Amino acid sequence: RNRSVGAIVALDPVPSRTAPSMGPSVVMGLRALLEPSAIALDNALSLQKMEALSVTDDLTRLNNSRHLYNVLRTEVKRAVRNGRPLSLLFLDLVTFKLVNDTHGHLCGSKVLVEAAAVIKACARETDTVARFGGDEFSLILPDTGPDGAISVAERILERMRVTRFLADDGLSVHQTASIGVATLFPESPKTAEELIKEADMAMYRVKAAGKDGLHVSQEGS
């Protein structure tokens, strides 16, 4: 389809005094030989792209909830097997509905994209950041106990408080977050679903207490 998907390189160990060249018959032979491989590579790249899209949120380009569940189930098993803690953050944007009501849904979508960038920048390379749905985000923090999880949550809160959203549109929108923290300890294992429920409940404790803060779950509290 007139598109380059790769290159094959041949090296001649004998030095040449002239530029190398291949006759038409050699070129045609190489094309016939390489075309099936090129098609297979193109198909593999297309499949890889489709697989990436299936676990990526269309708007924010973060992982989606489907990928979050898959990664969390794997990390829960690994944490229990290796005797290491695992933490999960659940985050809800505080005044997101007000943005939609005041500036429209297009601006609301831009706020989600900008918030995703802030959250992603506060995470570590080993963390998994996902948009759970709507204005809710989640972070999986491997090998992390409550203290480390609180540090990440506080970093997110601080960055959210000082960020002025929609600045490129001539606006200065303030946005904060409610964050719930839940931790799995190997001596008290939980399922991925139980950990999500705990973090979600902790987040709603923050929202009920006035929003813009964090709450650490203590065995579901």
For the annotated catalytic residues, the residue numbers are 135
Answer yes or no: are the C-beta atoms of 93 and 211 closer than 8 Å. no
Instruction: Return the residue matching tokens 């933490």.
Output: 87
Distance CA 133, CA 112 (A): 11
Answer yes or no: are the C-beta atoms of 132 and 90 closer than 8 Å. yes
Smallest CA-to-CA distance from 60 within 108, 105, 99, 112 is with 112
DSSP single-letter state for residue 165: B
